[in-house]
Amino acid sequence: MTMQYQAREGCLQVCLEGELGHHEAIHLMSQLSALVEDHLPGQLILNLEGLDFMDSSGIAVVVQTARKCAGYGGRLSVVHTPQQAKKVFDAAGLDRLVDIC
């Protein structure tokens, strides 16, 4: 998995590519947490367009990142969610915690 990010005017956009499974999720949660602490974004946009695969570990990534953002007064939005990942998010009811576009 690769992650690219861009910070601009209180908004942090993070783009993910590859596979998001248990092993990748552990590292990704740490990386996202550090980015939130470094940039204190009012809005974090997590772009999943480049994901080839995501299992339920992706739920933990979204939940932890949303909580981290909220702790600093920010909000998480998830965009370009692949169909398979959207099914996982819908089953978990994540749309009540974050904006899923």
What are the chain's domains? 2-100 (3.30.750.24)
Q: What is the mean pLDDT of residues 94-98?
A: 89
pLDDT at position 66 is: 96
Q: What is the pLDDT of residues 44-95, one digit of tens each?
A: 999 999 999 998 899 999 999 999 999 999 999 999 999 888 888 988 899 8
Q: Global pTM?
A: 0.93
Average pLDDT on 5-34 reads 96
Q: pLDDT tens, 31-43?
A: 999 999 999 999 9
Residue whose structure tokens are 């209180």: 10
Question: Rounded to whole angstroms, how far apart are CA atoms 98 and 78?
Answer: 7
With the C-alpha atoms ordered 37, 34, 100, 17, is the resulting torsion angle positive or negative?
positive
By CB neighbour count within 10 A (0-12 exposed, 13-18 middle, 19+ buried), where does 85 fall? buried
